[in-house]
A and B are shown apart, each in its own frame.
Chain A
Amino acid sequence: MTIEIPKEKYTGAVREVTLGATADEGGTRAHTLTIGGESTLPYLQFEGTIPNRPALALEIRDRKPDDWSPLLLQAWGEAMDDPGEWAKAAEAAGADLIYMVLSLTDADGEPNTPEYARAAVRKVLDATSLPMAVVGPGQAEIDNELIVPVAEEAEGERLLLGICEEKNYRTIVAAALAHNHLVQSKTPMDVNLSKQLVILIHDMGLPLERIVMDPTTGALGYGIEYGYSVMERLRLAALGGDQMTQQPMLVNPGEEAWRVKEAKVGEGVPENWGDWERRALDWEAVTAIALVHSGANMLVLRHPETLRRVRSVLDDLLGSQS
């Protein structure tokens, strides 16, 4: 007896968004990176198409961070002392793109400067030919002050710039408009706010093909189920044909996982928590893999080993990449 598998018919699809520009397109990247485009829920290939694999980004900073776990410092070693070297190491670790976060201050606690940010981005662009995202430290005024010169420095490279939030998006969007880049929008786990910010950014004249949305998530055990539910609803709305929810989704499991106690703390925890490094890596990987299943199109990770593990899960889901 044959059993017919019931199939859902969707009217919409996720929008395809392409980052980076090759020499032909006015940039210097070796290749571009396209995400999104699926016309079905995550990994239900029998129902629709999934033309692009989720992109795996490794996060780097413009200088060695003060507050990262010793486990991460160990993994990246001396490469962290120079953003260019770090980017090269990330490329060697298999990243699809470099996700660079600018620091709030320099190592002495003095405010970061546009000149420094510009030079650090230049270094990374010269050191690697991967597509790149650059986001500010997360304080509106300083983000704007740093991202505008970065946008100018990387003219033509089609960077992903961020982070656009409801209270501060106009300057970053204007910089993306002026220098032909893309933006990352971010809203606190709410379908309508996600959608509204995409509308507001689009209203400023930025094409939807240049917006990636970050619905915000939590780490494993710290609200990931809430994040999952928001992503699921955004995706159902997108497939249902709601234009303003069809942006590919970016999530940052690296940042989320590495700030929870289970990953961060090596001492003074119950013995049955087991080996610290193994636990920390599992936390980032399980968080990331859950988000892959929630429909994430781009994941920002911190540990190179996590990237390897998530990559192997993607290979299982989609077949290994040729």
Chain B
Amino acid sequence: MSRYIATRAIRGANAIVHEADLMLQRAMEEKGPDTPVAFPNTAYYLPFILGMTGREVSKIGELPPVLEHAKSLLHPVPPDARWTPYLGETLDSGMATLFAEEIIMALKFVYGLQPEPMPGLELAGSTSFTSPDNGGGPSADGHLNGPIDDIQLRSWGIQLVDGRMPGFAAIVGCAKSNEVAVKIVRELQRRNILTFLIGNVNGRSIIHQLVEEGVELGYDTYTVPFGTDTISAIYPLGFATRSALTFGGMKGGQARDILLYNKNRVFAFVLALGEVDDLKYATAAGAINFGFPVIADTIIPEILPTGVTDYEHVISMPFNEIEGADDLERAERLVQKCIEVRGVKVQITEVPVPVPYGSAFEGEVVRRADMQVEFGGKNSRAYEYLRMVDLDEIEDGKIELIGSDFDTVEEGGYMDMGILVEVAGRKMEKDFEPVLERQIHYFINGASGVQHIGQRDIAWIRISKGAAEKGFNLKHFGDILYARFHGDFGTIVDKVQVKIFTEPEVYAEWLEKARAAYDERNVRIGTMTDESVDQFYSCTLCQSFAPDHVCIISPERLGLCGAYNWLDCKASFQINPTGPNQPIIKGDISDQDKGYFSGVNEYAVSASHGSVNEVAVYSIMENPMTACGCFECIAMLIPEANGIMIVSREDTSMTPAGMTFSTLAGVAGGGLQTPGVMGHGKFYITSPKFISADGGFKRVVWLSSILKEQMADQLKEVAEREGDPDLIDKIADETVCTDVEGLLKHLQEKGHPALEMEPMM
């Protein structure tokens, strides 16, 4: 906590409370305690006072206790020599300031000094005031807006609550130039952010700047000029208080709840332009109580630790030091920073490409004859690589093509291409990189006339002649990825930028980096064990079909459908905290070998609605995990062979169990625990935890040949790990036998180890 800020805020608070005191004394004498005080067109009395204290102030005579309360929140200015924490004092001062400001504004209404006159100003939609200056009738002209009325509060409130409006910005002071003022407001409008204008620097306000430039102000343009003094900052904070009362269902006096509601749900921030004086510091301290951070375009001390606000409390971004070619670019960056600090999310609803876009086009095939160009495949190479970088290293929405576009190759030709997606986000984790990277396949496939196959450095993309004719070019890959990552993964991704490489040297350089990253990820996945984590994840996605089934997904046991591994679930939970993948704390381990965990058992009982009481995560013989029906494979005990067979869902042949896959599926599925039968994902076979309680991979006596082919390399490694390099040959498949007699004969001939192992039953 900066002592400097504390000092100035505390000093500012003392001064403004004193000023309110003097004004109130004068009003009591001149107008009397029974004179009504009210803001126009609101049912919330003086809203900040109502929200924080529960007092329904309607007369001047009811203000003194409020002022006393404000005084009780004041603290002495810290002496030069003492260095203690000041956050509490500063926040108190902020609250005192806001009480004083609302008292002052209420009294100014009594004296006809609010809304602040501004001759000649015409507002595009505003609070209606009945004032003698307007001949007794309501008028939107000749004055600033003053407080927002209840009708507008509800109308905007709905948009703030449903997310169409991401938040509001309170701009205090005066921009470097009129041009910069306009740019800042336009940048905010472009993002649908409500803009409130307040205050001045040496008599000049951003309101003056915008009016001079002919910018339309008022409700209709989402820019509300409250007043050219700092005190009118109470209006947006009163608006914030009323939001909580209206939409949060809170009652006056629930101060803490109201402030927390704003912190958690109202994405607002304060942008201080120009010099910050004591009163601005004091008012900003008030805003911080609401969880609204302050960003200043001048040099002020920062308050970086988080706590009252989600991220930093006070950020200094001296305007002239912002990187950028000119002031307009600097203004753009400044707004970008504000959005980051408050965690406002960008909403993108449409994918801006010249061809139709949607999941309906995902399965589309582009044949050679219709093809304009291809990347990857037989003649060229394409790769895609997504990496996480720091928030500061990335410019959101920047899409670059480095090298030539495909109009430089003949029709039906090919070229090498690399796609680098860089993402940053406060909730992003390095582990999510592969999860997000896999989405590139789906995102790019959504464009009509574009076909995407594969991933990593075996990606293969074709663009049809039709798409090329409509103007589809390489940069559009960037547009698609930018829009979709924000749209689908906005909860973990704050910024996205995309680079497309066709220039050979850059292409080669990044291919190296991508491959290094792929290797690193392989190692990371390979070394992640169930013991190395505290929690597993559930998957209840299939409960619509199998209501009592729940998958328990651990690093070494992926979901039985093969579609979800532990990292996918972790990311899915971040994106959708109420969704089907919930963390399960492992809890007490009662049997590490069989895989009995107290947390898993508790979760299984509740998620299976009491039909499963215990799960042995690593056993097929004792309380095996249940299955829905989506399994890639079914494992089943063959008692005569003292081992298990594994049949793939792609294998239609008869098996030694006397049943085909489809018949077996009826036994294995439906959320029932049947010892000796288990549905699972095919890559679970290669896991060291594959039925490890029952002897592991060496128990496999029969395996569909399609799995042997598809997973030849991995299975070879497993055989070596198990200390029996020829093991795969000893395992039968449907080409060897489809009955138990044939199986036993084969196992004896080959000397399969299962025959010598201890009995399974």
Residues of A within 8 A of B (CB): 144, 148, 152, 170-171, 173-175, 177-179, 189-193, 196, 199-200, 203-207, 229, 233, 236-237, 240
Contacts and interface: CB of A to CB of B under 8 A. Distances in A.
Given A173-B161, A200-B578, A205-B249, 10 more contacts: A144-B162, A148-B158, A152-B154, A171-B158, A171-B164, A177-B249, A178-B246, A191-B543, A204-B161, A206-B249
B258 to A, nearest CB: 12
Contacts of A204: 161
Contacts of B544: 189-193
A173 B164 CA distance: 13
Contact of A170 (B163, B246, B249): B163
Interface in B111-160: 154, 157-159
Contact of A178 (B154, B265, B543): B154
A205 B247 contact: yes
Contacts of A179: 154
B158 to A, nearest CB: 4
B490 interface: no
List the 3 shortest-distance A-B pairs measured between CB atoms, nearest first: A170-B162, A174-B161, A190-B544
Contacts of A240: 609-610
B578 A196 contact: yes
B166 to A, nearest CB: 13
A177 B609 contact: no
Contacts of A148: 158
Contacts of B157: 174, 178
Interface residues of B, number: 23
Contacts of B675: none
- If over half of A's interface residues share one DSSP class (helix, strand or loop), that class is named, otherwise mixed; here it is helix
B248 interface: yes
B580 A171 contact: no
A193 B543 CA distance: 10
Contact of B579 (A177, A190, A196): A196
A190 B163 contact: no
A236 B157 CA distance: 38
B547 interface: yes
Contacts of B159: 174
Given A178-B154, A190-B544, A191-B543, A199 B162 contact: no
A171 B158 CA distance: 6
28 contacts: A170-B161, A170-B162, A171-B162, A173-B162, A174-B159, A175-B158, A177-B161, A177-B246, A177-B249, A178-B157, A178-B158, A178-B161, A189-B544, A190-B543, A190-B544, A191-B543, A191-B544, A191-B547, A192-B543, A192-B544, A200-B578, A205-B161, A205-B247, A205-B248, A205-B261, A205-B265, A233-B609, A236-B609
Interface string B578-608: 1110000000000000000000000000000
Nearest to B606: A242
Contacts of B578: 196, 199-200, 203
Contacts of B547: 191, 229, 233
A192 B540 CA distance: 8
B629 to A, nearest CB: 15
Nearest to B250: A205
B578 to A, nearest CB: 5
Among B158, B249, B265, B580, max chain A CB count under 10 A is at B158
A144 B154 CA distance: 14
A177 B246 CA distance: 7
A152 B158 CA distance: 11
B543 to A, nearest CB: 5
Nearest to B547: A233
Interface in B158-208: 158-159, 161-164
A232 to B, nearest CB: 10
Contacts of A171: 158, 162, 164
Contacts of A193: 544
Interface in B552-578: 578
B467 to A, nearest CB: 28
A192 B158 CA distance: 27
Contacts of B540: 192
Interface string B295-313: 0000000000000000000
Among B246, B247, B248, max chain A CB count under 10 A is at B247
A177 B164 contact: no
B543 A174 contact: no
A237 B609 contact: yes
Contacts of B158: 148, 171, 174-175, 178
Nearest to B154: A178
A171 to B, nearest CB: 4
Contacts of B265: 205
B703 to A, nearest CB: 34
A178 B160 CA distance: 11
A233 B546 CA distance: 12
Interface in B219-236: none
A175 B247 CA distance: 9
A200 B161 CA distance: 13
Contacts of B247: 174, 177-178, 205
Contacts of A144: 162
Nearest to A196: B578
Among A170, A200, A229, max chain B CB count under 10 A is at A170
Contact of A207 (B162, B249, B610): B249
Contacts of A190: 543-544
Interface in B3-55: none
Among A190, A192, A204, A237, max chain B CB count under 10 A is at A192
Contacts of A173: 161-162
Contacts of A236: 609
Nearest to B548: A233
Contacts of A192: 540, 543-544, 580
Nearest to A204: B161
